Amino acid sequence: MFIDTHCHFNFPAFVTDLDNSINLIRQAKITGLIIPAVLADHFSEILQLTEQYDELYAALGLHPIYQHSPADLEKLTAIVSEVSTHPTKLIAIGEIGLDRYDQSVEWQQQLAFFRGQLAIAKRHDLPVLIHSRKTHDVIYHELHLANLPCRGVIHGFSGSYEQAMQFIKLGYYIGVGGVISYARANKTRHTIAKLPLESLVLETDAPDMPLSGRQGQINRPENIVDIFNILCQLRSEDPLLIRDTILTNTLTLFSRINKMEIPNPIKR
C-alpha cells in the first residue's frame, strides 16, 4: 500500500486517458493520491476528480511561481469554509510556499499569499504542502510564527540535514521523491538516509521530477514504488518497517483520508 502525497493528477498527462491512469495506480497498489492545485482555476476540476475515484484526494492552494489575485485567495477561503457544512475530499492546503529560484513573481507578493494561505490552514485545522526553493530559512521562520495545529510536508526537500531537522522539530514531515534516485544528489541522499523514519512521507510530483535515467519522460505516480525501493536501499531498516511506518506517518498527518486502517509497524 502506497500513498503519493504530491501528484498533479489533474494535468493532461493523466486526465487525457483517465481510466488507464487510474488502472495503473491501482496496479501499483497506490491506495491514496493527493492532488495539489497550483492555480485557482484548477480548484473545481480537482474536487470533481476526487469525487469520481476513491483513491484521489484534494489539496487546494496557490503556487508561489504563478500570478494570483486577491479574488483567488477569496475563492480558496470560500471553498475551504464550505467543507465544514458540505464535506468534500479536501484534506490539505497546497501547493503553497516561497520560491527565490523563479523570480517571475515579486517577493512581497509571494509572502503575502503564503501568509494568507497559512492563515486559512490554521483556521480550518488543515495540513499544508510546502514548496520551498532557496527559501528554507524564511519558510522555517514563517511556519514557526504561524504555529499551525496540523503542520504539513516540506515538498521536494533538497536541503541539508540540519535544515531538515529544524522542520522536523517544528513538527513537519519531509517529502521523499525522485531526487534520491540521482547519484549526484549526495547531500539529499545522505540526509534522507539519516532522518528519523517517523518524519518521512513519499511523493512523486508527477508529471514533474522524473527519476534518474528517465529524464525527458513523463513522471508517473506509479513510480512511487521505485522511489520506495531506492529509499530502502539508502536506509538500514527492514523494508516492511519502512513501508508501514511511512504509511502510518501519512495517515497520521492527513487524518481526513478515510476508509484506510493504519497498520501497526513491523518491529525489527
Beta strands (DSSP E) in 5-159 are 30-36, 56-60, 90-99, 128-133, 152-155
Pairing, β 152-155 against β 128-133: parallel
Question: What is the C-alpha radius of gyration for the chain, rounded to an integer number of angstroms?
Answer: 17
In sequence order, what are the beta bridge partners of 212?
none
CA nearest neighbour of 69 among 113, 128, 115:
113
- Binding-site residue numbers are 6, 8, 95, 131, 155, 205
Q: How many Å apart are CA 79 and CA 16, to the nearest integer?
A: 26
Q: What do you get for the CA distance between the two ends of the chain, in Å?
A: 20
- What are the φ/ψ torsions at residue 78 (nearest 5 degrees)? -65, -45
- Binding-site residue numbers for a divalent metal cation are 6, 8, 95, 131, 155, 205
